[in-house]
């Protein structure tokens, strides 16, 4: 099974890239994590946000694989605890179907991306910077996998 993190944004700070790559590399082949970066829409004025979201939305929906199960990260969705993610990961690995996790840009996900999602989850009620979300998702997937195999990384 492959998990693709489809995220708006390119040219992340070095610390984001380094941390994401570190956690992604720790995951085993049976649940490998791949990053797909989506070019952000142009925002010159506040009125450009709707156009930017639409452009990001179009690129994001094109990047989603035809048979992928899609999870949209959305602050207003059901909270995703570490244990719930571990339970989901166990089910995903048993199912074997590829997954796509969608991370929107500064203004969130577009309507088509939300509609394409098979489920929606929230990492936090806090508003998180979208570059940081990449690191959190990679770390939490590694933590969830560690829980499933009884590795001592997760000590809660």
3-class state of residue 150 by DSSP: coil
How many CB atoms sit inside 10 A of residue 44's CB?
8
Give me the helix-helix angle, 14-26 and 130-149, nearest 10°: 20
Is 128 known as a binding-site position? yes
User: Is 27 within any annotated ligand binding site?
Assistant: no
HSE on the CB side for 14, CA within 13 Å? 0
Is residue 5 part of an annotated ligand binding site? no
Distance CA 144, CA 90 (A): 9
Task: Say whether 109 counts as a known binding-site residue.
Answer: no
Q: Is 104 annotated as a binding residue?
A: yes
Q: Is there a binding annotation on residue 112? A: no
What are the C-alpha distances in Å from 88 to residues 16, 17, 105, 108, 147? 25, 25, 25, 23, 12
- Which two tokens mark 76? 């207003």
123 has binding-site annotation: yes
DSSP-derived secondary structure letter, 42? P
Ligand-binding annotation for 127, yes or no, is: yes
Residue list, annotated binding site for S-adenosyl-L-methionine: 73, 104, 123-128
Residue list, annotated binding site: 73, 104, 123-128
């Amino acid at each position: 099974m492959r998990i693709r993190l489809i995220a708006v944004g390119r040219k992340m700070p070095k610390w984001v890239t380094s941390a994401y790559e570190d956690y992604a590399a720790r995951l085993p082949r049976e649940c490998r994590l791949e990053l797909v970066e989506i070019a952000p829409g142009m925002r010159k004025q506040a009125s450009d946000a709707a156009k930017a979201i639409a452009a990001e939305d179009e690129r994001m929906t094109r990047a989603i694989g035809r048979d992928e199960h899609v999870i949209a990260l959305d602050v207003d969705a059901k909270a995703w605890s570490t244990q719930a993610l571990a339970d989901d990961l166990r089910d995903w690995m048993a199912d074997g179907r590829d997954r796509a996790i969608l991370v929107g840009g500064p203004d969130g996900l577009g309507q088509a991306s939300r509609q394409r999602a098979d489920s929606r989850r929230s990492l936090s009620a806090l508003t998180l910077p979208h570059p940081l979300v990449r690191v959190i998702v990679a770390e939490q997937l590694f933590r969830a996998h560690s829980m499933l195999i009884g590795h001592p990384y997760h000590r809660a």
